[in-house]
Structure formats: C-alpha cells, structure tokens
Amino acid sequence: MPALMNMPEVMANALEATLSSWLKKEGETVEVGDAIAEVETEKATVEIPAEHHGVVARLLVEEGASVEVGAPILVIRTSGETDEEVVTFLRDAGTQTPAAAPEDSVGANPVLVAEVPRQAERRFSSPLARRLARENHVDVAVIPGSGPGGRIVRRDVQQVIAGRADSSRDWTAQMVPVQPTAADPVQAKAQDVPTRVIAVPHTKMRRAISRRLTESKTTVPHFYLTADVRVDALLTLRKQVNESATRRITVNDLIVKAVGLALLDTPGANCTWSDEAQLQHTAADISVAIAVDGGLLTPVVRSVDSQTLSAVSAAIGDFVERAKAGKIRQEELTGGSFSVTNLGMFGTRQFSAILNPPQSAILAVGAAEPRAVVVDGSLAVATVMTCTLSADHRVIDGAVAAQWMQAFKARIENPLTILI
C-alpha cells in the first residue's frame, strides 16, 4: 500500500520547519535515502531523505509552506499501485493535496475572533497552534482550520492575529492628529505627519538568536579578558603570502588559525560543560560568525589546528558564500568549543561577545589601527588590535583563560608560528 512520509524533526526540539523546495517531482522514482526536499530550519537549510522506495505519488505541501513536525508532506507508492489506490489511501488517512483557500477564508478576509461563527463539532488543533492561541488570547474553537481534516494549525491562528492588527491599523489611520498652534512653526512641521510604528514579524532565525543568547547570558557565568595585540608582523606576512598564494588570505583567516593553534597550546581551554562531565575536545573545531540578512550564522571549521592555512581560508570562504545564499547545512552549525567574531572591518575598536552554547569561549576581535606604544622605553607607533575573550567560568578558570590569551597573542605577534 502507499506510504505516507511526515515532516521529520530536522533539528532538536524543533516544532516546525519551512519546506523551501521539492527535489523530486510527482511521478519520479526514489530510493531510500535519496534527497527528496530542502527544508529550512531556524538557521540552516537541510536536505531530507526519502524513507521509502517507490514513486512519488502526491506532494502534500507547497514550496515555501511552514510545516509542523510530524505533519504529512508526501505519499510514495509502489510501481504497481494505481492513482485510485492513492486517492483511497489519502481519504482513509484524512489527508488531502494542497488546495487554494476559499475566498471567504480567514486568510482572504481577516476578521476578529468574535466575528467567526462557532462550530458545534469537535475541533482538532496542533500543540503549536494551541500555544500560540493561548499566548495571544485567541479561542481556537472559533477558528476555521486549514490543516488535514480541518485541523487548526499555526497559520490559522496567525491569520486571526493578523486580522486583529489590520483592524487596529484601520482604526488608527482614521484618527485625526492634534493640530499644533501657529506660535510654534517647528512643532507644527513635525506634527504634520503622525508618528507611526512598523511591526516587523520575527523570523525563525531572530527567534532562535533571542532564545539561545538569552539562555546563554542568564544561565552561563561569563567572565572577560582583554588584550592588545600588535599585528604589524602579521600584516606583513599576509602581504607576502598573498603575493604567491592561489587564494587570497584574509586577516580573519590568520586569526582563526591562530585561535586553533592557541587551543593546541592550551588544552585546558578547549573544554565544554555538560551536566555529567567536563568535555575535553581533542581537536580545535571553531565556529566563525558570519553576518547574514536578519541575523548571524556560526558554521564550524573542523580541525583548524591540523589544517593548512589555505584549507582554513577555503573553508571559511565557502561558508561565507553559502551562508549568504541560505545553503548552510544544519550539521555544519553544531559542535565545536570556541567561536570567533570579528567586527574590526566595521571600525569597532573593542566589544564583548555572548557565548554560543554549549561552547565555552568566544573571541571578539576589534579593528587593527595605529596606536602609540612603548618599545624599549620609547614611544613608537604600531598597529594594534584589541581582542576580548568571553569564557564560561564553569569549565575555564581565569588562569587558564589568561594562558590561552597569552598563547594567542604570541602566535599573532610571531606569525611565522601560524604557518609552521
């Protein structure tokens, strides 16, 4: 008989994901493990594999739709089964193919909850829809459901909430602003246009950043160390390397490599906390912060300590390109014990970063700029970069953090040790 495939839990504790694109079409044959669709999580794009062998009979979700974990997304049939058998299977399962919403649906004409007629029959709703309705004081019993079998899903509740907001905006737009007196022409000019506030809905990525960083800042005991690092020799070496390198090396590439080697020099800083034990990492797997539209991604460069500088640079460059295209995979965002975030290119001199759980350390890198320094008792000018280490005091003590910072500074100020 036909087999139903449901939306998998593509990341831990995820309640829903967006099906961004189908990689197989109806009528195509698939094997178990074939990539069948691309799914967007809060921070990454993940390919999901086919769970059955056969022919794609029905795609139950449109591209771009947000789907709850466990909801049906497609039907796979064997080569000998007919379309009529698939239709019967879907009817028995209470599932149907996507259909356009009727013109009088909540999505087409949002209304207040009180204006939706109450239905007498039992209404089924998803846990996420019930939670969203409870948080926004919406009665799910009066919401038309657009899910399989009339099930009330998240988007149904969101449409009712949006209807409230639209009604509120319509009422606000009709308000006449108070006219200022002619005695104050500056105030009169300022009040010609009423003040407006634009509500921008949170993206999945922004919600994830909010949740994770709030958790980090409130549950992890941060402490901070700051060091000024001279980078003149590093910049000179970079120039020499780029004269013959097949790939352009950036300052950030050198910093990430130096961070990995400093972890090799100071193994006690390459640890993370768990409730059962302190986890000692045997390789320098380092997350590199990449700014993207609407947020931040931190893919992990594996084994930085043992890779060549060119390999590290190539890995970071690949991550940057795919991050901006929304092609980072979920597994590339997990693991590691250390992060590097660099705002120097924006002219930021110094800042402190929040730890990226469950990692135990993050280095915030500021701009390299000319500063007055003392060399052998005399004033001189050097190019200096301020770096701030945020550390988890549960696993990294102050002395260990200071030793790591000392090792990092030594690598940067003697950059040949990064290449050897």
Which residues have a catalytic role annotated? Answer: 393
* DSSP one-letter code for 149: G
Provide the 3-class DSSP secondary structure of residue 280.
strand
Number of CB atoms found within 10 A of residue 16's CB: 20
Q: DSSP assignment of 63-119, as one string?
A: TTEEEETT-EEEEEE-TT--HHHHHHHHHHHT-----PPPTTSTTTS---GGGSPPP
Distance (Å, whole) CA 258 – CA 335 = 19
Backbone angles phi, psi at 118, to 5 degrees: -75, 135
Distance (Å, whole) CA 68 – CA 76 = 20
Q: Are 142 and 132 in contact (CB under 8 A)?
A: no
- Burial call 193-230: b when 16+ CB within 10 Å, e when fewer: eeeeeeeeeeebbeebbeebbeebeeebeeeebeeebb
- Using CB atoms within 10 A of its CB, is residue 367 exposed (0-12), middle (13-18) or buried (19+)? middle
Torsion 173-137-10-338 (CA) sign: positive
* DSSP one-letter code for 51: S
